[in-house]
Amino acid sequence: MIMLTLVAAVLLGMAPSPARPAPADPYVYRAVFLQAAPGRLLELVDLVKATLPAYDAAGRPRPLLGRHTQGDRWDILVVEPVGSLASFYAHEPATPWERMESLVAWREELFVNGPPLAEFERRNTEGGFYHLEIFLGLAGKRDSLYRQRLMEDDYSRRIGRPDNLVFTRVGGAAWDLFTLGFYRSLQHYAEPSSITVEQDETAAKAAGFASRNDIGAYLRRFIALHHDTLLVPIR
């Protein structure tokens, strides 16, 4: 335990790349991807939902719980605010994860730097539908990938669409970065834009892209692998 805490402190104390500035006081989240054992999905959903009071009892922020509707192989996403790796390893987890073992066929865990807790909690409370994009960056291109995600968020705000929360890898699974978009519903996610082509082009260029048609192609310069998943909240 002492060794894990020391490793966590070293990891969090590492100077960030100048091209990817970290917040002055980065907030760490634990992302857990769960695939249910065959025929056990509804049991797993119920058990995950039943863990929420444990966070309240421990005085800890509630996680985001999402259930896959289409996209990747897994069934459930848990994004748990932990504050820092040192605090996570210094305390017992709020939830009894061992109770889930018989219901889980596959799992993956990732620790990430993310937004301030207040912003995460606000969006988690209001969100009714999620769009997750998760990325494995090319060697030497991870900082460029991060910048592209911020540019695309800037573009989204300029055309009146919701921006994403961006989470970057601290340790765990291989993924370098994921973004979460929060929407009121599937209809909100899919609704067409009301802006003109000219306004769209202006917004893309103002965000740093060569043109509106360059956004997707520019992203693909920096990624080795990219998965999209649509989710609904578990509450």
pTM of the model: 0.86
Q: Is the dihedral of CA 119, 185, 228, 94 positive or negative?
A: positive
Confidence of residue 97 (pLDDT cuts 50, 70, 90): low
3-state secondary structure of 30: strand
Return phi, psi of residue 211, to 5°: -165, 170
Instruction: State the fold for domain 25-233.
Output: Alpha-Beta Plaits (3.30.70)
Q: Is 190 exposed, middle or buried (0-12, 13-18, 19+ CB in 10 A)?
A: exposed
**What pLDDT is recorded for position 1?**
38
Q: 35-75 pLDDT, tens per residue? A: 999 999 999 999 999 989 988 888 889 999 999 999 899 99
Mean pLDDT of 66-93: 89
Q: Comparing 25-29, 154-158, 200-204, which segment has the lowest mean pLDDT?
A: 25-29
What does each C-alpha distance from 36 to 42, 45, 134, 173, 229 come to in angstroms?
9, 9, 20, 19, 16
What does each C-alpha distance from 205 to 20, 39, 147, 149, 195 come to in angstroms?
21, 49, 15, 15, 15
Q: 134-152 pLDDT, tens per residue? A: 999 999 999 999 999 999 9
Q: How far apart are CA 231 and CA 124, in angstroms?
A: 13
- In this structure, the chain runs to a length of 235
The C-alpha torsion from 115 through 119 and 123 to 125, rounded to 10°, is: 120
Residue bearing the bigger pLDDT, 80 or 193: 80
**What pLDDT is recorded for position 18?**
36
Mean pLDDT of 21-47: 88
Element containing residue 219 per DSSP (H, E):
helix 215-219
